Chain A
Amino acid sequence: EVQLVESGGSLVQPGGSLRLSCAVSGFTFSDFWMAWVRQAPGKGLEWVATIKHDESEKYYVDSVKGRFTISRDNAKNSLYLQLNSLRAEDTAVYYCASLEYGTSPWGPWFDPWGQGTLVTVSS
């Protein structure tokens, strides 16, 4: 069974740091690009960051560049997101997701997703 399980979310003060983890099982983690997507309370989805299989390519949404770092450990089947200099507007549920290409020339798409972990930035 494919599973992505996020952890590490909590209440943190503005300016603080947090490290999110995503433990993956049920597929060959090292074969896939991975991503973090977030959703602020009552709001829509926002892609945050993407990382290639071997960490040679990383991409970030402008609003987190220089503050967040995506990484992975293929030996541990785990994806990470280091969140620094946190702001109130970073409050959200953070989902990890795999980037699937299948046999389509029009990929990728986000599938599967974890259940999410809540980060709350507040004093």
Chain B
Amino acid sequence: DIQMTQSPSSLSASVGDRVTITCRASQSIGNYLNWYQQKPRRAPKVLIYGASSLQGGVPSRFSGRRSGTDFTLTISSLQPEDSATYYCQQSYSNPYTFGQGTNLEIK
């Protein structure tokens, strides 16, 4: 199975900060990497698919990049409504594994 190692597990930042979350795959997965945002007691929603494509309706302050087996989700200017848990997920092969999640708190 492909392991997805996400870091950090938690993060606290201020409004306006640039925030980066990293996800490393245990093997090559091409661009088969998706990012989700989950707010408390809500279902996850996709932010980024295919490593760098922004889902429709998602603010442009969110972006994704790939470097080899390392993937990053960046929020260019943190907003209060970005407080949530973020997950990466690979869709290269079954089982479609998720990272452990990053809990992002607004200071």
Using CB atoms and an 8 Å cutoff, list the residues of chain A in contact with chain B: 35, 44-47, 50, 59, 61-62, 95, 100, 102, 104-116
How many residue pairs between the two chains, A and B, have CB atoms under 8 Å in the bound complex? 71
Say whether A115 contacts B101, CB under 8 Å.
Answer: no
Partner of A59, one of B30, B34, B38, B95: B95
A47-B97, A47-B98 are known; give 17 further A-B pairs, CB within 8 A: A35-B96, A44-B99, A45-B36, A45-B44, A45-B87, A47-B96, A62-B95, A100-B46, A102-B49, A104-B49, A106-B30, A106-B53, A107-B49, A109-B34, A109-B50, A111-B55, A113-B43
Task: Give the distance in Å from the alpha carbon of A46 to the alpha carbon of B30 in the complex.
Answer: 21
Residues of B within 8 A of A109 (CB): 34, 46, 49-50, 89, 91
In the assembled complex, how far is the CB of residue B59 from the closest CB belonging to chain A, in whole angstroms?
17
Say whether A107 contacts B95, CB under 8 Å.
Answer: no
Using CB atoms and an 8 Å cutoff, list the residues of chain B in contact with chain A: 1, 30-34, 36, 38, 42-46, 49-51, 53, 55, 87, 89, 91, 94-101
Interface of chain B, main secondary structure: loop
Say whether A110 contacts B44, CB under 8 Å.
Answer: yes
Say whether A110 contacts B95, CB under 8 Å.
Answer: no
Residues of B within 8 A of A46 (CB): 98
Residues of A within 8 A of B98 (CB): 44-47
Task: Give the distance in Å from the alpha carbon of A44 to the alpha carbon of B94 in the complex.
Answer: 18
Say whether A44 contacts B100, CB under 8 Å.
Answer: yes
